[in-house]
Amino acid sequence: MDIHINKNNIGYYSTYLTVEKAIQQYLQQNGYLKIDLPVLSPTLVPESYLEVFETEFKYLNNREKLYLTPSPELFLKRLLVSGIGNCYYLGKAFRNSDPNATLHSFEFTMLEFYKLKADYMDIAEEVLNMLRHIAAIIKKSKITYQNQTISLDKWEKISVAQAFDKYADISEAELFDKELFLKKAKIKGFRTSGYTYEDIFSQIYTQEIEVNLGMNGYPTLIYDYPKEFAALAKLNPDGKTSQRFEFYMAGVEIGDCYSELTDWQEQEKRFSEEAGKRTKSGKIEHPIDKGFIKALQYGLDDCAGIAIGFERLSMIFANVTSIDRLKLITIR
Amino acid sequence: MKVNAGNLKKGDFVLYQSQIWQVQKADFYSPGKGSALMKTRIKNLLTGKNIEFTYKSNETVETIEVSSVEMQYLYKDSESLYFMDERTYNQYTVPITVVGDVSQFIKEGEKMFVYLHDEKPLSIRPPMSVRLKIIEAEDAAKGDTVSGAKKPAKLETGVTIMVPLFVKVGETVIVNPETGEYVERVKV
């Protein structure tokens, strides 16, 4: 890897700064407290698919392992339990084993905000208003991205089940029955042997669904993921889906939102499943954040939160196709 | 040769549905659940058609061994580009649809690498940059000081690209032939 200086990106970088300013302004005007957070933590939330960066604090003969945080969630939820109220973080997050690509960087900027007494659809409203505010500051009522016009008048809303039916010809019955799903995937030409439902779901989602999202003149909100993809989201009353949405603009995934799981027992169960999968797949072992579970035991009020890839969102407003174009210095 | 899809990179030749394709773009992607993926854009070397295909990163993919041979680019017609291996005087033909827009930026008589598989030409290796003369461009209007402003300019190969306002007719510029983007002016 090397350090690259990209002075020619100054124009795009200035849009990046404007988007940042607009977001801070919008959230602060709407009662969200800005939270500054550590990026090094002694414990983490176990996530089976995420590799982390490990480092060490040294003092004389003492050694203590520390980890760069892949998400600010573990800190923000503690603060929510402590009664801090609606809040947000806009800062660095780190994900190892994610090679640099047009839409990826192992070190990136994340916007995460939480709203109390809200569910995922309340957050959808908030996000749309925030996007309009950014557009207003940039003085654009419509966004033009790679010759596509994106209007912020409304969301295009589609459920995951509707999207699989519409774009991949996989019916709701097939989507929620693992055996039927894998059978259908095989007929469609995907290699399924040795792979799990989650593996093939992700492959088809990426290959056939994602490319259609945010492509119809509006940002797309795709919601209600199968419970296997619930992560830290609440389940819906149907028992099959979780209260989670992702949103897309021009085929690019920008944000991921949950009605937050507040049941500490369910959370503890998911943690140990995730930690087990981490060990099995040979990922760096890190202490599990037990304090997070303890915080939930005190009681987390109903709330919802969203994580937004800040560079990706800025890319849309700056009309560039790679996050590198927004940066004056990149490590590649 | 079999490789893991996670190791695919731009320029690799792969077998997909029994045809030879060249990887145009390969992005590793971790979707949050399930195995990591490799999002690729691959180009069919018979038809020039591009498709997007998402592999599971640990899925095995058959890659094709190719040799790259330096040749002289002779000329093109409406369908193909013609090359000659200067050591053997053998001529090779590559369809324009396979080479794509890069063909608008290469000059007759220049040296270029051609990929061969079983002695058959597959495609060319686009040069990192090309130096081309500006043959048509408007003079910059005085007082136009907007930084980063651009104007169209026609290159000696006949293609028009956007260049900064200070670039003049007769000057030579460096262009990235894959993106068609101006890189810098050649200082004289």
Q: Where are the domains of chain A?
A: 3-155+218-331
Q: Domain check: are B114 and B135 in the same one?
A: no
Helix (H) or strand (E) holding A99, with range, is none
Task: Report CA-CA distances (Å) from B2 to B29, B39, B45, B73.
Answer: 21, 18, 19, 33
State the Cα–Cα distance between residues B136 and B153, nearest whole angstrom.
Answer: 6
The structural architecture, per CATH, of the domain A3-155+218-331 is 2-Layer Sandwich (3.30)
Q: Domain check: are B116 and B143 in the same one?
A: no
For the record, the structure tokens of B105 come out as 């930026």
pLDDT at B147: 61
**Cβ-based contacts of B162 with chain A (< 8 Å):** none
CATH of the domain at B103: 2.40.50.140
pLDDT at B95: 93
Read off the pLDDT of residues B28-70 as tens digits, 9 standing for 90 and up: 887 766 778 999 999 998 888 999 999 998 899 999 999 999 9
Task: Please answer yes or no on whether B28 and A98 come within 8 Å at the CB atom.
Answer: yes
Q: Where does the pLDDT of residue B144 fall: very low under 50, low under 70, confident under 90, or very high at 90 and above?
A: low
pLDDT at B48: 87
Instruction: Tell me whether strands A87-94 and A33-34 are parallel, antiparallel or unpaired.
Output: parallel
Maximum mean pLDDT: which of A95-104, B143-152, B169-178: B169-178
- Is residue A323 within 8 Å of A313, Cβ to Cβ? no
Task: Please answer yes or no on whether B56 and A191 come within 8 Å at the CB atom.
Answer: yes
State the Cα–Cα distance between residues B39 and A99, nearest whole angstrom.
Answer: 13
Q: Where does the pLDDT of residue B20 fall: very low under 50, low under 70, confident under 90, or very high at 90 and above?
A: very high
For the record, the structure tokens of A248 come out as 């897309």
- Is residue B50 within 8 Å of B64, Cβ to Cβ? no
State the Cα–Cα distance between residues A317 and A16, nearest whole angstrom.
Answer: 8
Task: Report CA-CA distances (Å) from A254 to A112, A217, A309.
Answer: 12, 16, 6
**Segments forming the whole domain that contains residue B43:** 2-62
Beta-carbon count within 10 A of A253 CB: 20
State the Cα–Cα distance between residues A171 and A163, nearest whole angstrom.
Answer: 10
Task: Report phi then psi at A24, rounded to 5.
Answer: -60, -45
- Is residue B71 within 8 Å of B92, Cβ to Cβ? yes
Q: Where does the pLDDT of residue B145 fall: very low under 50, low under 70, confident under 90, or very high at 90 and above?
A: low
- Is residue A180 within 8 Å of A174, Cβ to Cβ? yes
Residue A192 to chain B, least CA–CA distance (Å) = 10
Task: Please answer yes or no on whether A196 and B30 come within 8 Å at the CB atom.
Answer: no
For the record, the structure tokens of A18 come out as 């404007």
pLDDT at A155: 98
Interface predicted TM-score of the whole assembly (ipTM), two decimals: 0.76
Q: To probe the interface with A, which of B33, B146, B181 has the most A CB atoms within 10 Å?
A: B33
Task: Please answer yes or no on whether A205 and B35 come within 8 Å at the CB atom.
Answer: no
* Regions of chain A where pLDDT drops below 70: none
Q: What percent of chain A has pLDDT over 90?
A: 88
R_g of chain B computed on alpha carbons: 20
Q: Which of residues 38-67 of B touch A (CB under 8 A)?
A: 39, 52-56, 59
Task: Please answer yes or no on whether B56 and A195 come within 8 Å at the CB atom.
Answer: yes
pLDDT at A47: 87
Task: Please answer yes or no on whether A98 and B30 come within 8 Å at the CB atom.
Answer: yes
Q: Domain check: are B11 and B58 in the same one?
A: yes
Into how many domains does chain B fold? 3
What's the whole-model pTM score? 0.84
pLDDT at B142: 59
Give mean pLDDT, residues B85-114: 93
State the Cα–Cα distance between residues A227 and A133, nearest whole angstrom.
Answer: 33
Residue B109 to chain A, least CA–CA distance (Å) = 33
Q: Does B156 score more than 90 pLDDT?
A: yes
pLDDT at A79: 96
Closest CB to A49: pick one of B33, B52, B53: B33
**Cβ-based contacts of A245 with chain B (< 8 Å):** none
Last residue of a domain, one of B43, B62, B81: B62
Closest CB to A196: pick one of B28, B34, B39: B34
pLDDT at A284: 93
* B170 close to A (CB below 8 A): no
- Is residue A243 within 8 Å of A234, Cβ to Cβ? yes
* A206 close to B (CB below 8 A): yes
- Is residue A54 within 8 Å of A65, Cβ to Cβ? yes
Task: Please provide the DSSP assignment of chain B as one string.
Answer: -EEEGGG--TT-EEEETTEEEEEEEEEEE--SSSS-EEEEEEEETTT--EEEEEEETTSEEEB---EEEEEEEEEE-SSEEEEE-TTT--EEEEEHHHHGGGGGG--TT-EEEEEEETTEEEEEE--S-EEEEEEEEPPPPTT---TT-EEEEEETTS-EEEEETT--TT-EEEEETTTTEEEEEPP-
Task: Report phi then psi at B21, rounded to 5.
Answer: -130, 155
* A98 close to B (CB below 8 A): yes
* A101 close to B (CB below 8 A): yes
Q: What percent of chain B has pLDDT over 90?
A: 71
Residue A261 to chain B, least CA–CA distance (Å) = 17
